[in-house]
């Protein structure tokens, strides 16, 4: 998460970190980005001044900051298979962002279906990477965070 738009130039300049994250993804390390994490894992982030900054490139989308569109609200999502939820499980979360995504969310590679909104596809899954605008409410289910820790541990053991 966070606010990558505030440090987009610094994030883009840190090529070593972007290379490390891509290498971790290639080796199967589970990577989960929410909102700002989605923006950072994407291809590019255009800040409020219209300057484009290269990001990690693991998500096929570009984030564009906008002053006139705020997405805000609670969401109930059904998983399509993420590090926190098996396919078909659901949980509550929220969205809060001033950015939009250029690039289509492919229903086959989406992370979630947002329930009650025409079942729209949301987020991205590719290999060990999951990125979404939805912030999950980890307190809603006590098993969510331990599941992610277990998946990270299993990935570490598999690489050892």
Indicate which residues carry an active-site annotation: 35
b/e map 122-152, b = 16+ CB within 10 Å: bbbbbebbbbbbbbbeeeebeebeeebeebb
Phi and psi of 54, rounded to 5°? -70, 135
- How many Cα neighbours within 13 Å face the side chain of 1? 8
């Amino acid at each position: 998460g966070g606010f990558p738009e505030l440090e987009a130039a610094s994030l883009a300049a840190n090529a070593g970190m972007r290379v490390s994250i891509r290498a971790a993804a290639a080796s199967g390390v589970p990577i989960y980005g929410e909102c700002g994490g989605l923006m950072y894992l994407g291809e590019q982030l255009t800040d409020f001044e219209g300057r484009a900054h290269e990001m990690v490139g693991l998500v096929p989308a570009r984030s564009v900051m906008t002053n006139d569109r705020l997405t805000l609200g609670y969401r109930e999502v059904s998983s399509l298979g993420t590090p926190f939820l098996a396919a078909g499980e659901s949980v509550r979360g929220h969205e809060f962002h001033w950015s939009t995504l250029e690039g289509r969310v492919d229903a086959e590679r989406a992370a979630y279906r947002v329930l009650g909104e025409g079942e729209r596809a949301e987020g991205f899954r590719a290999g060990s990477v999951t990125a979404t605008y939805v912030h999950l409410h980890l307190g809603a289910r006590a098993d969510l965070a331990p599941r992610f820790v277990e998946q990270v541990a299993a990935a570490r053991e598999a690489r050892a």
